[in-house]
Amino acid sequence: MSRITDTFGRLRAEGRTGLVTYTTAGDPDLPRSAEILKALDRAGADVLEVGVPFSDPLADGPVIQRASERALASGGSLRASLSLVARVRPRVSAPIVVFSYVNPLLRMGVAAFAKEAASAGVDGVLALDLPIEEAEEFRETLAASGLDTIFLLSPTTSEARIGKAAAMGRGFLYGISRLGVTGARDQVASGAEALVRRIRAHTSMPIALGFGISSPEHVAEVGGYADAAVVGSALVSLIAEESHSPRLAERVEEYVRWLKGGSAGASSPEPLGAADAASNSAGGGAPRA
């Protein structure tokens, strides 16, 4: 049983909604990215998504695009991302999922990537722009190294492709609640529950729902129909705002504790700046929250 499967099994047994967090490896730099991952784990994030910085992140909104730019400027890459995971793995108990566009994986070679990722302590991989029709060999190569292949499903995914993703996927399925690019929102998309119901008709595999989630109320709402909520852009925005602060890791930890229902000393982050809020509202919804 994989670490991801074990985690979702425990969440179901305890009747809890999981929290999946996304950060970009190397943002704002590699040493502090390591501290952020450890802070997320301390705060109780159930799955850590580690994004590989990429020069053309077309599915992402401006917040995560800028995170990729900062990470690349600080030396981020696929190999650096795997080295980062290897460095923190002894201190992190949560499953770690690598998020990447497929180009860096193909450039390294899928077999070489799978071996290096497994050695680093990665648990699952989502290649967000890999068509499911072309994913069988990819999935088999990852499975041979003990890695879960996670598939992305959107409101426009056909029933046939949902069924194929359910049959081929391992760990969990990732539902995105609206179309467009990534970005935080004031409300969870109205079609989110309907998407989860469509996926549930094909599988009992856990479902994590992302896009626009940024508050405990959003997490609780998603928990009414999905197994986990994914928080990405709101967290990445907080990292950007606190990037020059010595309290960066502490603020990340406070934010995640707040998302999970609050605790003594936990507080909400400052709201997105006007420019970020406006640019986010122009997007629609892709792989990360």
**C-alpha R_g of the chain:** 17
- Cβ distance 231 to 195 under 8 Å? no
Q: For this structure, is 116 an active site residue? A: no
Q: How many CB atoms lie within 10 A of CB 120?
A: 19
Residue 20 backbone dihedrals phi, psi, to 5 degrees: -105, 130
The three-state secondary structure class of 248 is helix
With the C-alpha atoms ordered 199, 62, 230, 37, is the resulting torsion angle positive or negative?
Answer: positive
Pull the structure tokens for residue 221. 């709402």
- Between strands 152-153 and 148-149, the pairing is unpaired
Q: Which of 15, 24, 33 is nearest to 92 (CA)?
A: 33
Rounded to whole angstroms, what are the CA distances from 83 to 64, 147, 201, 210, 282?
21, 17, 39, 26, 35
Separation of alpha carbons 229 and 83, rounded Å: 27
List the catalytic residue out of 27, 41, 46, 49.
49
CA angle at 112 for the pair 109 and 113, rounded to the nearest 5°: 80
Asked if 6 is an active-site residue, the reply is no
Catalytic option among 41, 60, 116, 242: 60
Separation between Cα atoms, residue 78 and residue 56, nearest integer Å: 14
Catalytic residue list: 49, 60
